[in-house]
């Protein structure tokens, strides 16, 4: 079982991961500031505009796994930084490359 956040009396308890199963890679995670607003590896390419993700360990910004180049996945494979999140404002999802799931 995973830890439960304490809420106001009468409020339902939720896990720190929302409804997703616990991911230990979130434990002790410090916020990382995005280092860019674009994928530096794609800057000279003319491929279609890809969704961007930010590495939650170091702040590296790269194109998502939905892009032809998959630079975010390449960053994970090179660094073993396990978590990425969408860069667009209001985006709340996080992806764990180790567990291959949303967390």
C-beta of residue 84 within 8 angstroms of C-beta of residue 72: yes
Please write down the HEC assignment for all residues of 74-90. Answer: HHHHHHCCCEEEECCCC
Prediction pTM value: 0.76
State how far the alpha carbon of 65 is from the alpha carbons of 5, 12, 18, 53, 72, in Å: 31, 34, 23, 9, 7
Give the model confidence (pLDDT) of 62-72 as tens digits: 999 988 899 99
- Say which DSSP state 4 is in: -
Taken in order of first residue, the domains within the chain and their CATH numbers are 28-102 (3.30.40.10)
Give the model confidence (pLDDT) of 29-61 as tens digits: 888 899 999 998 887 565 556 789 999 999 999
């Amino acid at each position: 079982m995973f830890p439960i956040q304490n809420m106001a009396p009468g409020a339902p308890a939720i896990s720190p991961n929302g409804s997703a199963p616990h991911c230990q890679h979130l434990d002790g995670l410090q916020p990382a500031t995005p280092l860019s607003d674009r994928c530096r590896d794609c800057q000279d390419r003319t491929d279609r505009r890809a969704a961007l993700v930010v590495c939650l360990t170091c702040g590296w910004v790269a194109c998502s796994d939905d892009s032809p180049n998959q630079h975010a996945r390449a960053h994970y494979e090179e660094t073993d930084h396990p978590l990425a999140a969408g860069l667009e404002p209001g985006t709340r999802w996080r992806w764990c490359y180790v567990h291959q799931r949303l967390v």
